[in-house]
A and B are shown apart, each in its own frame.
Chain A
Amino acid sequence: MPRTAAWLALLAAAAMVPLVIRSEYVIGTLTLMYFFAFVGQGWNILGGYAGQFSFGHALFFGIGAYTSSLCFLKLGLTPWVGMWLGAAVAVGVGLVTGHLSFRYGLRGAYFALVMLAFAEIFRVAATNWDFVGGSFGILVPLQGHAPRLFQFGDKRYFYYVILAMLLALTWAVARLERSRLGYQMIAIRENEAAADALGINPYRVKLAAMALSAAVTALGGAFYAQYFSYIDPAIGFGPANSIEILLRPIIGGAGTLWGPLLGALLLGLLGEGTRGLVKSYAGLHLMLYGVILMGAVVFLPRGVMGALRSLGVGAAERA
């Protein structure tokens, strides 16, 4: 199994990085890369596999970040538990928004817009509600090195936490891809009417995809809030965050297992390559993202994974 060996080697290398490289900067960059791959994979379950494009995934991200931070701040509950509560709340909200959208058969642009509107409702509500910190947001009180409270004196712990989360998620999505539900999701994406005619219930399958997607994105949001010890309405629920979440899986290849990871890697490298420039001009990296997004739509309509696949197919045909 040379393939398995290759993956194990890659994994071992990822696990070794903090032991070999001491630079906080490199560790931080990789941590964020894994983090974006994680939330991107969350979006990918609904947007990629099930084909329901959401422009408002910041909704679930914000719910995860806010729930875990608020539980800690108000109740003293450790974010290790709070993050799962956040995921549960996100699933609840996802089921409500999903029920409303799918029950009435919203798809395509309409679904994308209604998700954007739901996220905006939460953003405005969080901005105006003093209990959750209003427009200032929440500063998670620091307790020093407290692993039981999801706080670490050394950023390398966060690296291992998100690496483990990403690993577990990748494994789970690989299983999902080969499961009954996974095939049903793909069938609905490719042709909903045909899937319906074959006895698949599109409403239930889309709701299931929504629930899974919401839970994963919320877990990512909770990690983010602990990592930066801070969350505010714009970072949590803002449209810019929704774009950040969907950008990487789309560049990498929506609806593929490795798409979000590849997208996170590529955009991460690009971000580092242009860091000097980006630092001197606020907004430049988003400008670049805009160009990349437009370029990807024209030249890589199925993402990098799609392009690699068609290259592979072409090579196989020639052989």
Chain B
Amino acid sequence: MTAEVVLSSLANGIMLGGLYALVALGLTLIFGVMKVINFAHGSLMMLAMYATFWLATTAGLDPYLSLLLTLPAAFAFGYAIQRAVIAPVLRAPEHNQLLMTLGLALFLDNLALVVFTADPRTLLVAYSQTTVPLGPVRLNLPRLLAFGGALLISGLLWLFLKTTDLGRALRASSEERDGAALCGIPVGRVHAMAFGIGTACVAAAGGMAVPFFYVSPEVGNTFVITAFVVVVLGGLGSFPGALVGGLLVGVVESLGGLIFHGSLAQIGIFALFVAVLLVRPAGLLGARHA
């Protein structure tokens, strides 16, 4: 095993980790604001991947360009889903909220199975195999674009949460729902927006992954189980935790793939997950929601 192999694997892990971080950001935002763990997160990602795939194959739209269409659509979809499905159970016992999103995931995954069949599809773009040299390693261009896009979107989201009124309303509702409502914040609408933004995040991650990742009805689950690991690692509801956790998990998975072949590398991720849950259920950076 040469240093170059390790370095390029490390670079791949970091790039993949950026994508994980974006998936996890959506999950953690929804949890932070509503205290609901969204089991349907992967299903929303899968839908966005199909949308990107079909826009590319039927309309010839570049996967990165089609984000301009899929992101607003994902936001609207998430907003509507929150209103129709999540809002009715917001004050229900926690297990009923879990079951609600689980039911939603079952429905969406199998809807895709019925409509699109189980065949995995791959989209080849002109630059699928293009690489960019960086020091001793060559980076795959689509992965690099996805990584850059993930960082950009995370940064914008951070700015949005910190500097805009809506962002402040969102953070206020997440810290103290009733208090925020008393201050005149329309908490119901803010919740729906948070769900919409979370959906847009995961849709962006999905769309940007399409040039180098297969699309199938269950593809979201592979990402989202990893995203659960990431958010628990970083602390549920913690924004920087999702970023750090995403990068960490990406690197662990990628380097683990050097040592263990095939899907065995996933065991490392799950073991990490269990270990973190047990030792620091509040996450590495989070401390509030234990």
Contacts and interface: CB of A to CB of B under 8 A. Distances in A.
A283 B37 contact: no
Interface stretch (A80-88, A114-122, A178-186): A114-122
A123 to B, nearest CB: 9
Interface stretch (A63-71, A103-111, A161-169): A103-111
Given A283-B113, A290-B110, A297-B103, 11 more contacts: A105-B281, A108-B95, A109-B98, A110-B277, A114-B274, A121-B271, A125-B264, A128-B264, A281-B114, A282-B114, A287-B114
B267 A125 contact: yes
B102 A243 contact: yes
Interface residues of A, number: 42
Contacts of B118: 282
A110 B281 contact: yes
B230 to A, nearest CB: 12
Contacts of A128: 262-264
A124 interface: yes
A194 interface: no
Contact of B107 (A53, A112, A116, A287): A287
Interface string B72-104: 000000000000010011001111101110111
A117 B273 contact: yes
The 3 closest A-B pairs by CB, nearest first: A290-B107, A293-B103, A283-B113
A176 B229 CA distance: 36
B109 interface: yes
B107 A117 contact: no
A301 B96 contact: yes
B92 to A, nearest CB: 6
A298 interface: yes
Contact of B94 (A108, A124, A294, A296): A108
A250 B99 contact: yes
Contact of B37 (A104, A113, A296): A113
Contact of B85 (A105, A127, A286, A294): A294
A252 interface: no
B110 A284 contact: yes
A6 B136 CA distance: 79
Nearest to B108: A290
B242 to A, nearest CB: 16
Nearest to B263: A124
A55 B271 CA distance: 17
A124 B110 contact: no
14 contacts: A104-B281, A110-B277, A117-B277, A121-B270, A124-B266, A125-B264, A125-B267, A243-B102, A282-B114, A287-B114, A289-B106, A290-B103, A291-B107, A298-B100
A290 B264 CA distance: 30
A297 B96 contact: yes
Contact of B111 (A100, A287, A289, A297): A287
A42 interface: no
Contacts of B239: none
B114 A283 contact: yes
A204 to B, nearest CB: 19
A239 interface: yes
A239 B270 contact: no
B221 interface: yes
A116 B274 CA distance: 10
Given A121-B267, A284-B114, A290-B107, A53 B98 contact: yes
A132 B105 CA distance: 31
B270 A120 contact: yes
Contacts of B95: 53, 108, 112
Contacts of A291: 103, 107
A250 B103 CA distance: 12
Interface string B246-290: 000000000000000011101100110110011101000000000
A293 B102 contact: yes
A113 B277 contact: yes
Contacts of A110: 232, 277, 281
Contacts of A296: 99
A124 B269 CA distance: 11
